[in-house]
């Protein structure tokens, strides 16, 4: 089922999401719906708060293969890259954001197994973006000033 994506201004986007205690059918159905919603919206990632669920679940489109991460936690970050990002919850806006080039993170899969993962490049950026959603952080909160020189009006 395609879900409504919550937009900037919705209070759920600004609160820290709750840890998933049990991966049951409800969680698996939510993940299925999140993947369907992400694909329908042409997104590369989606976090549960974006569809109105305050749970620590993200889905990412990895090489045309959607994958879910439950209770993701970034353990290590390395390097720094500045690039533009958009967000399904902040439509029509792209802002420059500094992100780690490489990350190591852990998360549970849909069977409840905790695994460690390495990611780099775009995938690392998407995961960091989605984990931000779980912390109540939006791209506008992370935006980097494009220039320190501004014309005074």
The range of the structural domain enclosing residue 106 comes to 11-142
Domain membership of residue 110 (yes or no) is yes
Would the annotation count 47 as a binding residue?
no
Domain membership of residue 69 (yes or no) is yes
Considering 76, 101, 130, 145, which one is annotated as catalytic?
130
Domain membership of residue 45 (yes or no) is yes
pTM: predicted TM-score of the whole model, two decimal places:
0.92
Domain membership of residue 55 (yes or no) is yes
**Residue 136 region, left (φ>0) first, then alpha (ψ -120 to 50), else beta?**
left
* Number of domains the chain contains: 1
Would the annotation count 78 as a binding residue?
no
pLDDT of 111 > 80? The answer is: yes
CATH classification at residue 73: 3.90.45.10
* Token duo for residue 112: 């409840």
Say whether 151 is catalytic.
no
Domain membership of residue 150 (yes or no) is no
Q: What is the dihedral of CA 115, 121, 125, 131, to 10 degrees?
A: 10
pLDDT of 150 > 70? The answer is: no
């Amino acid at each position: 089922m395609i879900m409504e994506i919550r937009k900037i201004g919705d209070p759920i986007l600004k609160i820290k999401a709750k840890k998933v205690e049990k991966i049951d059918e409800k969680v698996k159905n939510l993940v299925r719906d999140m993947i369907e919603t992400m694909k329908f919206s042409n997104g590369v990632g989606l976090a549960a708060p974006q569809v109105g669920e305050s749970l620590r679940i993200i889905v990412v489109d990895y090489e045309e293969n959607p994958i879910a991460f439950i209770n993701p936690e970034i353990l290590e970050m390395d390097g720094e890259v500045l690039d533009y990002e958009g967000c399904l919850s902040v439509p029509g806006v792209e802002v420059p954001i500094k992100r780690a080039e490489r990350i190591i993170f852990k998360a549970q899969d849909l069977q409840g197994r905790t695994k460690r993962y390495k990611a780099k490049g775009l995938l690392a950026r998407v995961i960091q973006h989605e984990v931000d959603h779980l912390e109540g952080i939006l791209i506008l909160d992370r935006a980097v000033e494009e220039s320190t020189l501004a014309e005074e009006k």
